[in-house]
């Protein structure tokens, strides 16, 4: 799949897509856009931000080149020799146990239409994320879009013939992105996530279908550092990059001023949600990155 195919896939599952300055952007979360492909490093001074903000957009988050933004990283595996020795001692032991308990294999997306829904719901609940009323409808749309997208693949880990975990990967150019990993709370003791991610990454790099497998950037959310540690335990390494946050000029003045600090404190008092946590992280990141005029 190329970047046009990626934009088409994201549009088909409900994301807004903008074409600005020769690059595609999508709403990674409400009113905040990111460029495509995911790892594209942006030179902020070359972006027509006014054009981006003509739509329903208040800000953007992107990988960037120094000195824009803050030093950050993307988590990848790019060694064709990836094996159990690539893992930390703790992750290696857990993965061995996961491989003993679970059978890992590729899946047809049609198999996930029903069986994947409960794991989707389970994972959202476990992570404290909102479960939308139309989850079943959104999930069917996601599966249908992935099923007809070049480069999309689904893998599952089964414990006693029951789906314990699954992931969806998407190859864009020479990178396979692990988009989602979902698992059943009832089977976490059997380490299905370890077995699943390890087997998928090893197979993808062994057969040479891509140069690297990526599982995302450093999160702007606080309190989920353990998730990055889990990924690094499974052999993902930090590929250095910068991350840059840009917002509309009016909003930028508010965030950098006293009102911004007050807003962060107020949001911290609200019930925790994914969007609230990301909004807090976005504002903190913007306030802490070096201010460079464009």
Q: How far apart are CA 272 and CA 99, in angstroms?
A: 35
Residue 96 is assigned to a structural domain of this protein: yes
Q: Are 245 and 279 in contact (CB under 8 A)?
A: no
212-217/175-183 β-pairing: parallel
Q: Please give the backbone phi and psi of residue 166, each rounded to the nearest 5 degrees, phi first.
A: -150, 160
CATH number of residue 195's parent domain: 3.40.630.30
Compute mean pLDDT per 10 residues along the chain, 294 residues long, and list them: 91 92 89 93 91 90 90 94 95 96 94 87 79 84 91 94 94 94 92 96 87 91 78 95 92 87 81 76 84 57
Residues 220, 97, single domain; the answer is yes
User: So what's the pLDDT on residue 294?
Assistant: 56
Nearest Cα residue to 253 out of 199, 197, 291, 196: 291
For residue 290, which phi and psi values (nearest 5 degrees)?
-65, 135
Kindly state whether residues 65 and 188 are assigned to the same domain.
Answer: no
> Residues 44, 172: one domain?
no
Task: With CA atoms as reference, report the closest residue to 213 among 165, 172, 164.
Answer: 172
- A 10 A CB-CB count for 181 gives 20
Residues spanned by the domain of 227: 75-238
Q: What whole-number distance in Å separates Cα of residue 173 and Cα of residue 70? A: 26
**Residue 293 covered by a domain:** no
The helix/strand/coil state of 43 is: coil
Q: Are residues 224 and 103 in the same domain?
A: yes
Structurally, the chain folds into a number of domains equal to: 2
User: What was the pLDDT predicted at 220?
Assistant: 82
Same-domain check for residues 111 and 220: yes
In a domain, 190, yes or no: yes
In-domain check, residue 250: yes
CA 142 to chain centre: 15
Q: CA-CA distance, 106 to 291, in Å (whole number)?
A: 46
Q: Name the maximum alpha-carbon separation found in the chain.
A: 58
In a domain, 294, yes or no: no
User: CA–CA distance from 25 to each of 59, 174, 224 (Å)?
Assistant: 11, 20, 26
In a domain, residue 173? The reply is yes
Q: Alpha helix (H) ranges present in 127-184?
A: 135-147
Same domain for 218 and 248: no
Peptide bond into 243 cis (omega under 30): no
In a domain, residue 69? The reply is yes
Which residues, at least 6 apart from 63, have a Cβ–Cβ distance to it below 8 Å?
35, 38, 39, 40, 41, 42, 72, 74, 217, 241, 242, 243, 244
Question: 250 and 154 in one domain?
Answer: no
229 with 252, same domain: the answer is no
The distance in angstroms from the start CA to the end CA of the chain is: 33
| Helix pair 3-12, 135-147: axis angle to 10 deg | 150
Regarding whether 152 and 123 lie in a shared domain, the answer is: yes
Report d(CA 190, CA 113) in Å as an integer: 24
- Tell me whether residue 196 is in a domain: yes
**Looking at the structure, do residues 267 and 232 belong to the same domain, yes or no?**
no
What's the pLDDT at 223?
A: 66
Residues 79 and 43 in one domain: no
How many residues are there in the chain? 294
Same domain, 52 and 186: no
């Amino acid at each position: 799949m190329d970047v046009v195919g990626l934009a088409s896939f994201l549009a088909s599952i409900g994301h807004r897509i903008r074409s600005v300055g020769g690059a595609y952007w999508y709403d990674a979360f409400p009113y905040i856009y990111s460029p495509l492909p995911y790892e594209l490093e942006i030179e902020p001074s070359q972006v027509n931000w006014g054009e981006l903000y003509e739509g329903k957009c208040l800000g953007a988050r992107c990988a960037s080149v120094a000195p824009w933004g803050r030093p950050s990283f993307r988590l990848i595996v790019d060694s064709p020799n990836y094996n159990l020795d690539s893992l930390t001692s703790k992750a290696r032991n857990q993965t061995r146990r996961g491989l003993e308990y679970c059978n890992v294999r590729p899946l047809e997306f049609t198999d996930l239409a029903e069986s994947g829904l409960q794991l989707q719901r389970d994972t959202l609940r476990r992570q404290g994320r909102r479960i939308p009323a139309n989850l079943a409808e959104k999930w069917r749309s996601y599966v249908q879009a992935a099923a007809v997208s070049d480069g999309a693949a689904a893998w599952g880990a089964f414990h006693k013939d029951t789906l314990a975990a699954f992931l969806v990967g998407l190859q864009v150019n020479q990178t396979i992105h692990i988009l989602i990993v979902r698992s059943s709370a009832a089977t976490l003791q059997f380490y299905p996530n370890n077995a699943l991610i390890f087997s998928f990454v090893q197979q993808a790099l062994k057969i040479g279908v891509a140069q690297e497998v990526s599982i995302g950037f450093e999160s702007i959310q606080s309190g989920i550092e353990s998730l990055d540690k889990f990924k690094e335990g499974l052999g993902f390494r930090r590929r250095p990059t910068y991350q840059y946050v840009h917002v509309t000029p009016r909003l930028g003045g508010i965030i950098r001023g006293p009102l911004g600090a007050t807003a962060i404190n107020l949001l911290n008092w609200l019930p925790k949600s994914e969007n609230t946590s990301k909004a807090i992280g976005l504002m903190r990141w913007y306030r802490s990155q070096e201010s460079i005029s464009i």
